[in-house]
Homo-oligomer: A and B are copies of this chain.
């Protein structure tokens, strides 16, 4: 049962993506690797803040780092994004079938029975 492990990884990935700053960093890295200063340049916040954002992305497996002199260039690893896509695609049938599930449920919710109760 590694379901929990996968679940945790997905949670960490989503948490990392729940920041437009971090998503911007990923977008920048999609065009090629970059140093921390290069990544920080478009933003108003200070370098330590960017450094921490990068660390979050790194922990989520979205960014790989190297070392060259003082530089610690970052590169995108999009593998977790494939997992995100796969996860979301599970729901494609739901968003494509736009019939109203709420009405569906309300129909099954009888006036004289509580939901989940099997007529006993």
Binding site for B on A (CB under 8 A): 4, 7-8, 10-12, 14-15, 17-20, 23, 26, 29-30, 32-35, 37-38, 64, 66, 68, 71, 73, 75-76, 78-79, 81-82, 84-85, 88-92, 94-95, 100-102, 104-106, 108-109, 115-116
Contacts and interface: CB of A to CB of B under 8 A. Distances in A.
Contacts of A76: 91, 94, 101
B94 A85 contact: no
A75 B20 CA distance: 28
Interface secondary structure of A, over-half rule: helix
B94 A34 contact: no
Q: 6 closest A-B pairs (Cβ-Cβ)?
A: A33-B105, A78-B95, A14-B18, A85-B88, A15-B18, A78-B94
Contacts of A104: 32-33
A75 B101 contact: yes
Contacts of A108: 32
11 contacts: A14-B18, A33-B104, A64-B102, A68-B106, A76-B91, A78-B91, A78-B92, A79-B95, A81-B94, A82-B88, A84-B84
